[in-house]
Amino acid sequence: KAGVTQTPRYLIKTRGQQVTLSCSPISGHRSVSWYQQTPGQGLQFLFEYFSETQRNKGNFPGRFSGRQFSNSRSEMNVSTLELGDSALYLCASSFLQGNEQFFGPGTRLTVL
Amino acid sequence: DQQVKQNSPSLSVQEGRISILNCDYTNSMFDYFLWYKKYPAEGPTFLISISSIKDKNEDGRFTVFLNKSAKHLSLHIVPSQPGDSAVYFCAAMSSNSGGSNYKLTFGKGTLLTVNP
């Protein structure tokens, strides 16, 4: 069974631009969560989607948004990029909400 | 307010010895705890978990202990191997929130180095 895939793996953007990251969960998994990892803050929860609905949201500004499609694939969008948005963005999927989460390799975003 | 704390940013042990990684939490609603291992350039990998109805869970070389009264858990790796060198994250969640709070709260991680 294929694992969680994330595209692109690396991305370089400049301040003010927007970016869209993609996540394909493990086949059959319906819950997708997004996390931001930075050296100083560890992994911080962004949001969780289940059955195309955002079920849970972390403490991030509205510039961070996401969505989930009917095939459970998810996208995350960050608008008006700031230097501090440089981080590793991780997607995790689980069969149901509350199950163990399986992580993808992440997308390394660098904002210049 | 950090609800899950891993107070040791790094730990170094000799191969064959025991590694003990510690984690403290403050939210009494947390009732399910997980440990993840992360290598550079990879996503975290689930290692072991424990429910609050237990105080110990063992899987091969890995054992997690939970002390609910102290709001403390620890991961024991014995014997430690050089391949165990990675960042270890402790995570916690509340499973009784009716689906409204199924999010993992992570600690900042502990870098374990196992020296040959």
Mutate to test the interface with A, among B37, B87, B103 (most CBs of A within 10 A): B103
pLDDT tens per residue, range B5-60: 999 999 999 999 999 999 999 999 898 999 999 998 788 999 999 999 999 999 99
pLDDT tens per residue, range A75-88: 999 999 999 999 99
Chain B residues touching A100 at Cβ < 8 A: 34, 46, 49
Statement: residue B107 has pLDDT above 60 = yes
**Are the C-beta atoms of B4 and B25 separated by less than 8 Å?**
yes
Name the residue of chain B whose CA is nearest to A58's CA.
B103
Statement: residue B91 has pLDDT above 60 = yes
In this complex, the residue of A44, A98, A105 whose CB is nearest that of residue B43 is A105
CA-to-CA dists, residue B87 to A47, A60, A73, A84, B57, angstroms: 23, 24, 28, 22, 20
Query: Chain A: nearest CA to B23, how far in angstroms?
Result: 14
**Angstrom distance (rounded) from CA B92 to CA B103:** 8
β-pairing, A31-38 with A42-50?
antiparallel
**Are the C-beta atoms of A91 and A74 separated by less than 8 Å?**
yes
**Angstrom distance (rounded) from CA A65 to CA A85:** 13
Helix (H) or strand (E) holding A49: strand A42-50
Query: What does pLDDT average to over chain B?
Result: 91
Going by pLDDT thresholds of 50, 70 and 90, the confidence category of residue B98 is low
Query: What does pLDDT average to over chain A?
Result: 92
In this complex, the residue of B46, B104, B108 whose CB is nearest that of residue A45 is B104
In this complex, the residue of A41, A58, A105 whose CB is nearest that of residue B42 is A105
A70 in helix, strand or coil? coil
**Are the C-beta atoms of B18 and B73 separated by less than 8 Å?**
no
**Angstrom distance (rounded) from CA A95 to CA A97:** 7
Nearest to B72, CA basis, from B11, B9, B5: B5
Q: Which DSSP string do the residues of A74-90 spell out, in sequence order?
A: EEEEE-S--GGG-EEEE
In this complex, the residue of A41, A90, A97 whose CB is nearest that of residue B43 is A90
Chain B residues touching A48 at Cβ < 8 A: 102-103
Statement: residue A65 has pLDDT above 90 = yes
Q: Does A89 touch chain B (CB under 8 A)?
A: no
